[in-house]
Amino acid sequence: MSVLRPLDKLPSLNTATILLVGTEDALLQQLVDSMLKEDCTSELKVHLAKSLPLPSSVNPPRIDLIVFVVNLHSKYSLQNTEESLHHVDASFFLGKVCFLATGAGRESHCSIHQHTVVKLVHTYQSPLLYCDLEVPCSWVPTSLSLLTWLAQGLSEWPGSQASAALTDG
Amino acid sequence: MDETVAEFIKRTILKIPMNELITILKAWDFLSENQLQTINFRQRKESLVQHLVRLCEEKHASLNDAALLDIIYTQFHQHQKIWDVFQMSKGPGNIFSFFFFNKVTVSFRETEENAVWIRIAWGTQYTKPNQYKPTYVVYYSQTPYAFTSSSRLRRNAPLLGQALTVASKHHQIVKMDLRSRYLDSLKAIVFKQYNQIFETHNSTTPLQERNLGLDINMDSRIIHENIAEKERVQQITQETFGDYPQPRLEFAQYKLETKFKSDLNGSILAEREEPLRCLIKFSSPHLLEALKSLAPAGIADAPLSPLLTCIPNKRMNYFKIRDK
């Protein structure tokens, strides 16, 4: 079973990498575009994956933050997240993982209870952010929150230059 | 001209949107060119309609002429009706002998593609036919298929079926589990024509050249990890649904009937004689296109359940699932 490990690779200078894991491309793409617009100084790289394990597990990239995107309208999305979590090394959960739950605003479309996601997030001791990726005005605040978490996560690893560069932007 | 006929014509013309009026009147071909030229189509609709009705009176329009206008209106507005599909067959014969004392108005209009539009207004033994709730039948004469508009007057349905069967020289008629507003799509499904639209399509176009459904922008800061998976989904979707536009249906309905099965003895539900029933209905402005886009959008896994993908192939959108 291939697993992502945070320390497999050395951090590169002035580079930070986010991995977004989620089933619906349309939602992820908006978020990615917004994040890249907000980040202008450093080299931010974003990997988009539908699920884990990554196909390129032979030579996995260094990942500084994993964001699991769960669409509350889709049981398939939750199931995909739960299965992908098994492929993440435990040490990632020390500040390098966060969850994004989208779609809570339209309660009639939700097929997943918020309680289910909260329970999942507690199990993995990671932060949870609610947003509505279908609404354009949420992209900027969501991407700023993610970039902040990324900076926090990076600053916990000594010798990382990237976090300083990110917070300058 | 009979007062009821005048009223019928007036109400029919009132339904016609202004931008279609001239086209429909020309298709009706009842009023002469000279008469049409005397009409001011820019006046208020009410006065325009009164003028048209007067012209029809001059020409002594009959009930049949009025019915024909109604057929043409319906042909232009097919989507306002829901169409059922009937399949007839020649088999062990049923001898129909029925005595039909009810008054009906029947009108015919032939169109290209060997289709006959039949309009039937139903009455009873004692009342005149109700012209405002007719049933329409579209019959393709070289085929055993007829499409009928779902009528609110259900008691006439068996009679209509029998009449159709006899008139078309068949012996049995069966209602197919297929229903939609879109007559063209029903036709495409029933006659299996929906996959012949792009006969010259080059199916060897490499996948990379096709639209993978996402914006693979040239930004090198974005790395898509699951390209292979996306291609697999695209491939399966294309194999299942083809490259052609899907016929248009608005819903698919699944009725499930099953008896409760349990390992526990003496369970109340297990002793229940009546099966448990469940109804699931999928609705969409364009159901098959929506199903086709589920896997590429990441909302469902590919391949989709065959219960969904078999719809055009099996020519059904009403399913009954029972225990074997």
Q: What is the pLDDT along chain A (169 residues), one digit of tens a residue?
A: 456 766 656 555 577 889 999 999 888 988 888 888 876 656 788 999 998 888 765 667 788 899 999 999 999 999 999 999 998 888 888 888 999 999 988 889 899 998 999 999 999 999 999 999 988 888 988 988 888 888 877 776 554 444 444 444 3
User: Cα separation of B164 and B85, whole Å?
Assistant: 13
Q: Which residue of A has its CA nearest to B220?
A: A45
User: Cα separation of B84 and A158, whole Å?
Assistant: 72
Write out the DSSP string of B267-290.
Answer: -TTTT-SSPEEEEEEEE-TTHHHH
A55 close contact with B: CB closer than 8 A: yes
Token pair recorded at residue B146: 């007829």
User: Cα separation of B155 and B152, whole Å?
Assistant: 9
The pLDDT value recorded for residue A166 is 46
Contacts of B305 in chain A (CB under 8 A): none
Is it the case that residue B251 has pLDDT exceeding 50?
yes
Cα distances from A32 to residues A37, A81, A158, B296, in angstroms, run: 9, 18, 27, 19
Amino acid at B193: Q
- The verdict on a CB contact (< 8 Å) between B226 and A46 is no
Of A102, A115, A113, A95, nearest to A156 (Cα)? A95
Q: Which residue has the higher pLDDT, B205 or A137?
A: A137
The pLDDT value recorded for residue B209 is 40
Q: Which residue has the higher pLDDT, B125 or A97?
A: A97
Largest CA distance in chain A: 48
Q: What percent of chain B has pLDDT over 70?
A: 88
Token pair recorded at residue B76: 């232009």
- The verdict on a CB contact (< 8 Å) between A46 and B222 is yes
Distance, C-alpha B90 to centroid of its chain: 25
Cα distances from B24 to residues A116, A159, A167, B50, B110, in angstroms, run: 59, 80, 69, 17, 16
The pLDDT value recorded for residue B201 is 42
Token pair recorded at residue B56: 């029809």
Chain B residues in contact with chain A using a Cβ-Cβ cutoff of 8 Å = 213-215, 219, 221-226, 228-230, 297-301
Return the CA Rg of chain A. 15
Cα distances from B87 to residues B83, B138, B144, B224, B315, in angstroms, run: 13, 12, 6, 50, 12
Of B178, B180, B318, B189, nearest to B249 (Cα)? B180
The pLDDT value recorded for residue A85 is 93
- The verdict on a CB contact (< 8 Å) between B225 and A22 is no
The pLDDT value recorded for residue B163 is 82
Q: Which of A23, A47, A55 sits opposite B228 (nearest CB)?
A: A55
User: Cα separation of A133 and A155, whole Å?
Assistant: 28
User: Cα separation of B20 and B77, whole Å?
Assistant: 11
Q: Which of A23, A32, A36 sits opposite B298 (nearest CB)?
A: A23
ipTM of this predicted structure: 0.79
- The verdict on a CB contact (< 8 Å) between B224 and A48 is yes
Q: Average of pLDDT values for B253-273?
A: 80
Q: What percent of chain B has pLDDT over 90?
A: 49
Q: Which run of H or E residues covers position B248?
A: none
Is it the case that residue B230 has pLDDT exceeding 60?
yes
Helix (H, G, I), strand (E, B) or coil at B293: helix
Helix (H, G, I), strand (E, B) or coil at B256: strand
Q: Which residue has the higher pLDDT, B168 or B115?
A: B115
Assign residue B30 a region: left if phi > 0, alpha if psi is -120 to 50, beta otherwise?
A: alpha
The pLDDT value recorded for residue B210 is 44
The pLDDT value recorded for residue B94 is 65
Per residue in B192-201, pLDDT tens?
Answer: 888 765 433 4
Q: Which of B213, B226, B301 sits opposite A49 (nearest CB)?
A: B226
Contacts of A18 in chain B (CB under 8 A): none
Report CA torsion sign: B214, B215, B218, B219. Answer: negative
Q: Average of pLDDT values for B167-172?
A: 82
The mean pLDDT of chain B is: 85
A5 close contact with B: CB closer than 8 A: no
Q: Which residue has the higher pLDDT, B166 or B235?
A: B235
- Cβ–Cβ under 8 Å, residues B241 and B292: yes
Per residue in B273-302, pLDDT tens?
Answer: 788 899 999 999 999 999 999 999 989 988
The pLDDT value recorded for residue B213 is 43
Give the position of tokens 């894991």: A21
Contacts of B223 in chain A (CB under 8 A): 45-48, 61
Cα distances from B219 to residues A24, A40, A134, B155, B216, in angstroms, run: 20, 14, 22, 65, 8
Token pair recorded at residue B5: 């006929």
The pLDDT value recorded for residue A73 is 93
User: Cα separation of A67 and A48, whole Å?
Assistant: 10
- Cβ–Cβ under 8 Å, residues B52 and B39: yes
The pLDDT value recorded for residue B100 is 66
User: Cα separation of B56 and B49, whole Å?
Assistant: 11
A87 close contact with B: CB closer than 8 A: no
- How far A121 CA sits from the closest chain B CA (Å)? 22
DSSP class of residue B31 equals: S
Q: Which residues contact B119 (CB under 8 A, 6 or more apart)?
A: B67, B70, B71, B74, B105, B106, B107, B108, B109, B134, B135, B136
DSSP class of residue B222 equals: E
List beta partners, residue B148: B84, B137
User: Cα separation of B84 and A156, whole Å?
Assistant: 67
The pLDDT value recorded for residue A167 is 44
Of B92, B106, B107, B188, nearest to B147 (Cα)? B188
Contacts of B299 in chain A (CB under 8 A): 23-24, 74, 76
The number of C-beta contacts closer than 8 angstroms across A and B is 56
Per residue in A51-91, pLDDT tens?
Answer: 888 876 566 778 889 999 999 999 999 999 999 999 888 88
- How far A153 CA sits from the closest chain B CA (Å)? 20
